[in-house]
Amino acid sequence: MSDNTTAPLLVAARGGVPSRTPVWFMRQAGRSLPEYRELRKGTAMLDACLDPEMVCEITLQPVRRHDVDGAILFSDIVVPLKAAGVDLDIVPGTGPVVAKPIVTRGDVDALPLLEEHQVQPVVDAIGLLNAELGDVPLIGFAGAPFTLASYLVEGGPSKHHERTKALMHADPELWHALLDRIADITAEFLRVQVAAGVKAVQLFDSWAGALSERDYREFVLPHSARVLATVDSVPRIHFGVGTGELLPAMREAGADVVGVDWRTPLDVAVRRLREAAPELPPPVVQGNLDPALLFAGETALRREVDRIVAEGRAAAGHIFNLGHGVLPDTDPDMITKAVEWVHRAR
């Protein structure tokens, strides 16, 4: 098995010069692929996530099909909560739904911690994957404390996160106790993945963009920082949606690579990161094709790919990705083409 030290994704993540611009797509494994839909027939999402052979096969599907430079472990941000014993499910078309949302101190104290044996199927899947993947690095991931807290407090997906923000401001002590507990679970889940052999990790704080920078720094950053500090032996990617105002703070939390959504051009993101922390090494970024542009036809898509590769040159390293996940109705051939164009762009 290779140690992937020359894999373009890992070279770029360290700010080096890769042999080609590395590219992978968030949600590359999943509903855009007919072979995924076929395999998942009759198996619930969370059951699939805890079946090592299925996790291995679904993780490999986009690697075989698209020639991407990274494999993202097929799982979900709520898997460690479910494995630890939280009563929740992933409802098709809705997302994670929690049976008993968190309201009181008693609810927080009752949140279980994660024990390694509870995610043994994920450990087994990582073993199977590393035997199959060759030089393509496997990326592990977890949901960040704020995004997981939003599901636990709201009880499901939320547009405005009003219960979450109300708890944060009305009872900061309870809020910090909750995030502390979630950070323990998330940190343990990432630690287990790294020990099992993932080569990089991504911390998804998908909904952090709902916060002001002030609230992010006070109520979220210290907890995400504690999580990221536990996995400093591998490159750490930190991503959220709508986080143009938060990019320097998200880097400060301990990111080696800052994920950028499509709203902020990469050269602008790099300038913000540099200006906020001139003492740090030049920034490395990941992003940031708008997932909707995979529907725009070849001419428009190619133009966008070229623009993003050019803007990414402002960074010390650039990992090409979407600005958020692949949409379910995406034509997989457009993903394959986008990957080809990223690799050819000079």
Ligand X SMILES: Cc1c2[nH]c(c1CCC(=O)O)Cc1[nH]c(c(CCC(=O)O)c1C)Cc1[nH]c(c(CCC(=O)O)c1C)Cc1[nH]c(c(C)c1CCC(=O)O)C2
The binding site for ligand X (CB under 6 A) comprises 26-31, 40, 45, 72, 74-77, 90, 92-96, 141, 157, 204, 206, 325
Per DSSP bridges, beta strands 317-322 and 284-289 are parallel
Indicate the SS3 state at residue 217. helix
Nearer to ligand X, 77 or 308 (CB): 77
Q: Tell me whether residue 27 is annotated as binding.
A: yes
Residue 235's nearest CA partner among 269, 287, 284, 186 is 284
27 is catalytic: yes
Residue 79's nearest CA partner among 121, 26, 41, 138 is 121
User: Is the omega angle on the peptide bond into residue 4 within 30 degrees of 0, that is, cis?
Assistant: no
Task: For the CB of residue 142, give the shortest distance to ligand X in the complex, in Å.
Answer: 9
Q: Tell me whether residue 30 is annotated as binding.
A: yes
Q: What share of the chain is helix, strand, coil (3-state, %, to 5)?
A: 50, 10, 35
Using alpha carbons only, give the angle 66, 70, 74 rounded to the nearest 5 degrees.
90
Nearer to ligand X, 23 or 314 (CB): 23
Q: Tell me whether residue 206 is annotated as binding.
A: yes
Are 90 and 76 in contact by the 8 Å Cβ rule? The answer is yes
Q: Tell me whether residue 29 is annotated as binding.
A: yes
* Bridge partners for 89 per DSSP: 97
20 is catalytic: no
Nearer to ligand X, 18 or 30 (CB): 30
Task: For the CB of residue 66, give the shortest distance to ligand X in the complex, in Å.
Answer: 11
216 is catalytic: no
* Options 20, 64, 65, 76, the catalytic residue: 76
Nearer to ligand X, 95 or 101 (CB): 95
Torsion of CA 223, 228, 229, 233, to 10 degrees: 170
Are 322 and 291 in contact by the 8 Å Cβ rule? The answer is yes
Nearer to ligand X, 9 or 314 (CB): 9
* Options 14, 20, 40, 217, the catalytic residue: 40
Q: Tell me whether residue 193 is annotated as binding.
A: no
Q: What sign for the dihedral angle of Cα 145, 151, 152, 158?
A: positive
Nearer to ligand X, 7 or 46 (CB): 46
User: Which ranges in the chain belong to alpha helices (H)?
Assistant: 8-13, 34-40, 45-49, 52-66, 79-84, 105-109, 120-133, 145-154, 162-170, 172-196, 213-215, 221-229, 247-252, 266-276, 298-312, 332-344
* Options 31, 65, 163, 263, the catalytic residue: 31
Q: Tell me whether residue 296 is annotated as binding.
A: no
Please state, in angstroms and rounded to a whole number, the distance separating the CA atoms of residues 292 and 212. Answer: 26
3 is catalytic: no
Task: For the CB of residue 275, give the shortest distance to ligand X in the complex, in Å.
Answer: 27
Task: For the CB of residue 321, give the shortest distance to ligand X in the complex, in Å.
Answer: 10
Q: Tell me whether residue 263 is annotated as binding.
A: no
Task: For the CB of residue 143, give the shortest distance to ligand X in the complex, in Å.
Answer: 6
Phi/psi class of residue 167: alpha, beta or left (left: φ > 0; alpha: ψ in -120 to 50)?
Answer: alpha
Task: For the CB of residue 133, give the shortest distance to ligand X in the complex, in Å.
Answer: 15
* Options 20, 27, 217, 307, the catalytic residue: 27
Residues that constitute the known binding site for substrate? 27-31, 76, 151, 206, 324
The catalytic site residues sit at 27, 31, 40, 76, 151
Residues tagged in the binding site annotation:
27-31, 76, 151, 206, 324
